[in-house]
Amino acid sequence: MSDFKKVVLAYSGGLDTSVIVRWLQDTYNCEVVTFTADLGQGEEVEPARAKAEALGVKEIYIEDLREEFVRDYVFPMFRANTIYEGEYLLGTSIARPLIAKRLVEIANETGADAISHGATGKGNDQVRFELGAYALKPGVHVIAPWREWDLNSREKLLAYCDERNIPVEKKKGKSPYSMDANLLHISYEGMVLEDPWAEAEEDMWRWSVAPEQAPDQPTYIELTYEKGDIVAVDGQAMKAHEVLAHLNKVGGENGIGRIDIVENRYVGMKSRGCYETPGGTIMLRAHRAIESITLDREVAHLKDSIMPRYAEVIYNGYWWSPEREALQALIDQTQTYVNGTVRLKLYKGNVDVVGRKSEDSLFDEKIATFEEDQGAYDQKDAEGFIKLNALRLRIAAGKGRKL
């Protein structure tokens, strides 16, 4: 077994990571540094400090990363209109690169020998954490307890806590689902959801009302964009994380952002999960709307063609990779003129675009009008255009080829 003197652990303060602290101490006889990130998960992170101290941890990092998370990870991803397998807005996936980066940075700051995480050996997160860590610190050692220990059930974890006097809250009525939350989304897996035929229970959802319970009157909002990013809501300037928090609130109130999917994990299995992404759902619709009037046609189609690849790169854990950086450079270049305002109507789970305007708009009313265009477009030109584009079809048909 490797000789590690100090290990940096991604620490939530929950059952799994509290056990991991003591397990690392017992198994490796090492000092543990805990890192807890506030990514807008909606729960207090400061209690993690007392829990870590009770476990004998001397170096404790608790950091508010909400603005960096949305500004440097969520917003760049949404410039590409990113969606995985047609439905998933990558709420968990996009949080992992930032956590991996800070784990490596803290390891460097504290002189740690290794990093550790609480991701299981069946999921995507182990891949995302570790690919990021290896990309940023090639020689880093990673300890993944779930791939080493035999504490593979909640009962065994609790028994371990009892044996070693680990303080863990055993809350009654706690959600039975495996959940992950940040400012972009909240996810639910496990329990009844392991049957893809079973409908999710209504009381499972935390951030949104059911569409049928949403207000009977629509809510209108206006989002202002600069270079592809939202900078104001209803004319009020906001920081990136404030924008997303506000959209989560108004979207959730209107029953927006629930999905129930079966996705293909990178490790090979299919997984059923439910997600609430109210703010992200609004952002995706609005961003496509502002691009519709500001992007050149071929640029827009090029973006759409590379988006599935970009989504896979993020989902599979390759944020810190040359291919993601290359794709990001292209995507960001396309956003130069993505400026303006989009007006949306939110109503019972729906996000409808009802207006868009921009000083950089390529929409020309003089050309697009159904009325007299005063010579701006010669309709006779269309005849030659159509015949030239039909030439290969006419030749094939003339040679007797059947379609």
DSSP string, 25-40: HHHH--EEEEEEEESS
* Closest by CA position to 308, among listed 74, 88, 76, 83: 83
* CB 208 within 8 Å of CB 256: yes
* Closest by CA position to 109, among listed 33, 23, 213: 33
Rounded to a whole number of angstroms, the distance between the first and last alpha carbons of the chain is 67
Read off the tokens for 359. 């000083």
Query: Does the annotation mark 113 as catalytic?
Result: no
- Site of tokens 């806590």: 161
Q: What's at 398, amino acid-wise? A: G
* CB 278 within 8 Å of CB 251: yes
Under 8 Å CB-to-CB from 401, ≥6 apart: which residues? none
Candidate list 49, 71, 72, 178, residue with the active-site label: 178
Q: How far apart are CA 87 and CA 260, in angstroms?
A: 9
Query: Does the annotation mark 96 as catalytic?
Result: yes
DSSP category for residue 84: B
* CB 157 within 8 Å of CB 118: no
Strands 6-10 and 141-143: unpaired
* Closest by CA position to 8, among listed 71, 123, 101, 88: 101
Read off the tokens for 14. 């929950």
Q: How far apart are CA 125 and CA 336, in angstroms?
A: 33
* CB 91 within 8 Å of CB 187: yes
Q: Provide the Cα torsion 51, 52, 56, 61; round to 10°.
A: -150
Query: Does the annotation mark 125 as catalytic?
Result: yes
Under 8 Å CB-to-CB from 347, ≥6 apart: which residues? 214, 218, 219, 254
Candidate list 22, 66, 79, 96, residue with the active-site label: 96
Candidate list 38, 113, 125, 229, residue with the active-site label: 125
Query: Does the annotation mark 26 as catalytic?
Result: no
Q: Is 285 left (phi over 0), alpha (psi -120 to 50) or beta?
A: alpha
Candidate list 16, 113, 180, 229, residue with the active-site label: 16
Q: Is 105 left (phi over 0), alpha (psi -120 to 50) or beta?
A: alpha
Enzyme catalytic residues: 16, 96, 125, 178
